[in-house]
Amino acid sequence: MSFESLGLQPALLRALAEQGYTDPTPIQVAAIPQVLDGHDLMAGAQTGTGKTAAFALPLLQMLDSAAHGPAHNPRALILTPTRELAAQVHDNIRAYGKHLRVRSGAIFGGVGMGGQVQFLRRGPDLVVATPGRLIDHLQRRNVDLSGVRWLVLDEADRMLDMGFLPALKQILAVLPKQRQTLLFSATFAPEIKQLATNFMRSPREVQMATPNAVASGVSHRVHPVDAARKRDLLLHVLAADSRRQTLVFARTKHGSDKLCRHLEQHGFRAAAIHGNKSQNQRTRALADFKRGGTTILVATDIAARGLDIDQLPAVVNYDLPMVAQDYVHRIGRTGRAGAEGLALSLVSREEEGLLRDIQKLLKQPLAVESVEGFEPAWTLRPEHANAPSSQPGQRRGKSRARKPNRRDDARPASAQRKASHGHAHPQHSRTQNDAARANRSRRNRNGRNRAAPR
Q: Which residues bind ligand AMP (CB under 6 A)?
A: 21, 24-25, 28, 47-53, 308, 310
- Could you write out the DSSP letters of every residue in 82-96? SHHHHHHHHHHHHHH
- Cβ proximity to ligand AMP: between 211 and 255 the closer is 211
Q: Least distance (Å) from ligand AMP to the CB of residue 322?
A: 24
Q: Least distance (Å) from ligand AMP to the CB of residue 275?
A: 21
What Å distances lie between residue 189 and 15, 44, 155, 157, CA to CA? 35, 11, 12, 8
- Cβ proximity to ligand AMP: between 49 and 427 the closer is 49
- Cβ proximity to ligand AMP: between 55 and 268 the closer is 55
CA 322, CA 429: separation in Å to the nearest integer?
Answer: 29
- Cβ proximity to ligand AMP: between 18 and 372 the closer is 18
**3-class secondary-structure state, position 143:** coil
Q: Least distance (Å) from ligand AMP to the CB of residue 144?
A: 29
Q: Least distance (Å) from ligand AMP to the CB of residue 10?
A: 17
Q: Say which residues have a Cβ less than 8 Å from residue 103's Cβ, sequence separation at least 6.
A: 122, 123, 124, 125, 126
Q: Least distance (Å) from ligand AMP to the CB of residue 84?
A: 11
Q: Least distance (Å) from ligand AMP to the CB of residue 298?
A: 21
- Cβ proximity to ligand AMP: between 105 and 332 the closer is 332
CA 85, CA 92: separation in Å to the nearest integer?
Answer: 10
204-207 β-sheet, strand order: 104-107, 126-129, 76-79, 150-153, 180-185, 41-44, 204-207
Find the DSSP H helices in 267-402.
279-291, 301-304, 324-331, 352-362
- Cβ proximity to ligand AMP: between 20 and 447 the closer is 20
Q: Least distance (Å) from ligand AMP to the CB of residue 95?
A: 8
Are 226 and 376 spatial neighbours (Cβ–Cβ below 8 Å)?
A: yes
Q: How do strand 246-249 and strand 270-273 relate by DSSP bridges? A: unpaired
- Cβ proximity to ligand AMP: between 247 and 366 the closer is 247
CA 285, CA 307: separation in Å to the nearest integer?
Answer: 12
218-224 β-sheet, strand order: 270-273, 296-299, 246-249, 314-317, 341-347, 218-224, 367-368
